[in-house]
């Protein structure tokens, strides 16, 4: 039986995406060729790329608003440096909000290009909250933030009002909730958290912000070159783009982002209610900043770990171990994780409580 997959990424995708991808590996579009062996310039794949790029803008509500969607490679980590390369003025600066490990990695790369102002950081509390009091320098080339902190289980619920272009790393919550996506000038996301398999990175960029940095940018790192080549400057990640398209189609058929948002809220509510109700567990993130995608929690008594680990593994749950920098547990509830899987976890947490309350009664 299929596991209840709580992996933080690469992660669960819809079952129909697995099935359709498997079919395409054997015979793509009845061409009697595998998707793994066709040219990226073939009519069938060019259609995949075009549809995927258009569907991204459609789902985000950004059609006809001057945005371009690109499927690049190098992961979100390459965007950490492509963003400053393309956007930071040669004598300028950029502003960053430090909300965790990934934000930090982005800051590290930006420093190679110029003055990098960290406007606020939640490092003082091991990143268990989102800072709210900060000012963005008006002369910054852009402001960079991370919408969802995959490792620490926090999520930005609102974004600053500023005239500075906003760049957002949405790797782990893109397509999971409704937002006014037009408030962002550049969004990027490694596919493997909520959109597809590892191997491609989605970049959505407002064209008017490009070409202003005064830098000479190597071709492969230049967003404008990728836009001009319709996301085929070089051989794209054919299979990951195809599997991402299948996930986007699945999402559209489900009713789009507003439909999945309701399911995601129901999943998060179910689990957080149990974390708060159950005396054996404690959440690690500030309640108002809790992520609907990655719930981080600890056992109050670490001595219960062995029993709990055995119980959730026996229930068919996979990928629940927390990141080493937080410890405990992390339940990643991406779009494709069904509500039933969350119920299985909640049942295990309740059973654990029963086991230990019986034991403590016997000891009395």
Q: Which residues are catalytic?
A: 102, 169, 193
Gap between the Cα atoms of 62 and 204, Å rounded = 9
Q: Does the protein bind ligand PLP through residue 146 (CB under 6 A)? A: yes
Q: Which residue is listed with tokens 């590892």?
A: 198
Pick the binder of ligand PLP from 4, 20, 53, 193 (CB under 6 A): 193
For 147, other C-beta atoms within 10 Å of its C-beta total: 25
Pick the binder of ligand PLP from 7, 68, 150, 332 (CB under 6 A): 150
Pick the binder of ligand PLP from 14, 153, 190, 240 (CB under 6 A): 190
> In the complex with ligand PLP, which residue's Cβ is closer, 75 or 240?
75
Q: Does the protein bind ligand PLP through residue 82 (CB under 6 A)? A: no
Interacting positions 308-337 with ligand PLP (CB under 6 A): none
Q: Interface mask (CB under 6 A) for ligand PLP, residues 11-50, using x and -?
A: ----------------------------------------
Gap between the Cα atoms of 121 and 119, Å rounded = 7
DSSP of 125-185: GTT-S--------TT-S-EEEESEETTTTEE-SS----SSPEEEE-TTTTTSS---GGG-S
Region binding ligand PLP by CB under 6 A among candidate stretches 51-59, 69-77, 109-117, 328-336: 69-77
Q: Say how many residues touch ligand PLP, by CB under 6 A.
A: 12
Q: Does the protein bind ligand PLP through residue 197 (CB under 6 A)? A: no
> In the complex with ligand PLP, which residue's Cβ is closer, 75 or 84?
75
Q: What is the dihedral of CA 39, 42, 48, 49, to 10 degrees?
A: 80
CB 83 within 8 A of CB 188: yes
Interacting positions 344-363 with ligand PLP (CB under 6 A): none
Tokens linked to 87: 């956007």
What does DSSP say about strands 143-146 and 93-98: parallel, antiparallel, or unpaired?
parallel
Q: Does the protein bind ligand PLP through residue 72 (CB under 6 A)? A: no
Gap between the Cα atoms of 213 and 319, Å rounded = 42
Q: Under DSSP, is residue 117 helix (H, G, I), strand (E, B) or coil?
A: strand
Region binding ligand PLP by CB under 6 A among candidate stretches 83-91, 152-160, 167-175, 240-248: 167-175
Q: Does the protein bind ligand PLP through residue 77 (CB under 6 A)? A: yes
Q: Does the protein bind ligand PLP through residue 76 (CB under 6 A)? A: yes
Residues that bind ligand PLP (CB under 6 A): 9, 75-77, 102, 146, 150, 169, 171-172, 190, 193
């Amino acid at each position: 039986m299929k596991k209840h997959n709580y992996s933080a990424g690469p992660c669960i995708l819809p079952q129909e995406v697995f099935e359709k991808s498997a079919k395409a590996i054997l015979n793509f579009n009845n061409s009697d060729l595998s998707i793994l062996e066709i040219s990226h310039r073939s009519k069938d794949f060019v259609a995949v790329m075009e549809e995927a790029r258009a569907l991204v803008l459609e789902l985000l509500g950004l059609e006809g608003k001057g945005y371009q969607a690109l499927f690049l490679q190098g992961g979100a980590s390459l965007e950490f440096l492509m963003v400053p390369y393309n956007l930071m003025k040669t004598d300028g600066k950029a502003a960053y909000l430090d909300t965790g490990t990934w934000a930090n990695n982005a800051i590290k790369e930006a420093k190679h290009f110029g003055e990098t102002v960290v406007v606020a950081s939640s490092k003082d509390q091991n990143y268990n909250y989102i800072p709210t009091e900060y000012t963005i320098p008006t002369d910054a080339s852009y402001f960079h933030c991370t919408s969802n902190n995959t490792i620490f289980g926090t999520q930005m619920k609102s974004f600053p009002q500023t005239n500075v272009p906003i760049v957002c790393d949405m790797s782990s919550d893109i397509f999971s909730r409704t937002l006014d996506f037009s408030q962002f000038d550049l969004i990027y996301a490694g596919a493997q958290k909520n959109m597809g398999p590892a191997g491609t990175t989605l970049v959505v960029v407002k064209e008017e912000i490009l070409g202003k940095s005064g830098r000479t940018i190597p071709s492969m790192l230049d967003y404008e070159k990728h836009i001009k080549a319709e996301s085929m400057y070089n051989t794209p990640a054919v299979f990951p783009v195809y599997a991402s398209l299948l996930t986007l189609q699945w999402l559209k058929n489900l009713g789009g982002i507003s439909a999945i948002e309701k399911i995601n809220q129901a999943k998060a509510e179910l689990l957080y209610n149990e974390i708060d109700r159950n005396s054996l567990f404690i959440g690690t993130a500030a309640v108002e900043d809790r992520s609907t995608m990655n719930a981080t929690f600890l056992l109050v008594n670490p001595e219960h770990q062995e029993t709990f680990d055995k119980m959730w593994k026996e229930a068919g749950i996979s990928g629940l171990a927390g990141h080493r920098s937080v410890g405990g547990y992390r339940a990643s509830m991406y779009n494709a994780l069904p509500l039933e899987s969350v119920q299985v976890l909640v049942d295990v947490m309740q059973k654990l409580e029963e086991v230990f309350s019986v034991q403590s009664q016997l000891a009395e």
